[in-house]
Amino acid sequence: MAAHNELGEKGEDIAVRFLLNKGFELLDRNWRFGKDEVDIIATLADTLVVVEVKTRNTAFFGSPAQFVSKVKQRHLIRAAHAYIEKHQLDLEVRFDIIGIIIDARGEQVEHIEHAFLPKW
């Protein structure tokens, strides 16, 4: 496995632990709809939370969360819509981003709730 894939997988593991510690219930990981993929799908109370995880080994170029483009947001919205339809869910939906930096100092987690709004 390529180093960047290993870093991404490690970041997702950190994000899952972070969310579980905050009371989220994990529903799915790396859920795919066609070419679209959602890193984490979870619930918190009566809300479906769709989470994109960005992991980097430096913040030199900016926060990892800054790298979630408008195109990626559209892909996440499309995949979330398919997930809701497939599982016949009737929940509020929100989109979060978790940015993770893993460097010599350790792990830093930035959780941005309601990172963007869907345009259904």
Domain ranges (residues) in the chain: 3-116
Tokens of 89: 């869910």
Instruction: State CA 111 to chain mean position distance.
Output: 10
Tokens of 19: 């969310």
Instruction: State CA 13 to chain mean position distance.
Output: 11
CATH code of domain 3-116: 3.40.1350.10
What percentage of the chain carries pLDDT values higher than 90? 73
Instruction: Write the pLDDT tens digit of every residue in 69-113.
Output: 899 999 999 999 999 999 999 999 999 999 999 988 889 999 999
Task: Identify the burial level of 112 via C-beta atoms within 10 angstroms of its C-beta, where 0-12 means exposed, 13-18 middle and 19 or more buried.
Answer: middle
Beta partners for 96?
A: 51
Q: What is the pTM of this model?
A: 0.90
